[in-house]
Amino acid sequence: MIFNSGLMLGALVSGAVVGAVAGIASVVPEPVRLWTLLPVVSVIMSFELIGRPLSLPQNRRLVPQDVIPKAEFEGPLQFGFEMGTGVRTYTPTALPHLLVAVVVLAGGLGAGLLAGIGFGAGRALMPYLRSRSDDPRQWDRDMLCSLSRMGQICAAGFLLALVVTIL
């Protein structure tokens, strides 16, 4: 449970950083920011919804496992921060990149914090669910087999949330 709390807090801090950057970006006029965002959302969502996520630049190194046991709370916090900021992570989808773009170009500090909470909850939920599985190896296989479908579902949810937020 402490591991999941550290992940959540790390992702929340990451969301606050993104929200702060959004505050700086707010000096750019809103129409310019939104017209910049429109093609980015269109391209990434098109690829996600057809089940062929874009491979965006990323640091394809996982956070080392020796970070976690560093301290009861410090290790998971570092793990969550490194994963949440993309310092060390691997994502099979471009949706986290799109989330950052949306928060920076159309959000603000509040949106950044909410994004951090959502991202942290999602990242913390996966290891929790895996640990609750009767057969973690089968859980891994099932997850890998359904990555494309999960990406489509997440993309549709992301698009719905974006439309609801804009309207």
- Based on the structure, what is the number of domains in the chain? 1
Encode pLDDT of 102-123 as tens digits.
Answer: 877 877 777 777 777 777 777 7
State the SS3 of the chain: CHHHHHHHHHHHHHHHHHHHHHHHHCCCCHHHHHHHHHHHHHHHHHHHHCCCCCCCCCCCCCCCHHHHHHCCCHHHHHHHHHHHHCCCCCCCCCHHHHHHHHHHHHCCHHHHHHHHHHHHHHHHHHHHHHHHCCCHHHHHHHHHHCHHHHHHHHHHHHHHHHHHHHC
pTM, rounded to two decimals: 0.68
Segments forming the whole domain that contains residue 110? 2-166
pLDDT in the model for residue 139: 83
Encode pLDDT of 27-73 as tens digits.
Answer: 778 888 888 888 988 898 888 888 887 777 666 666 666 666 666 66
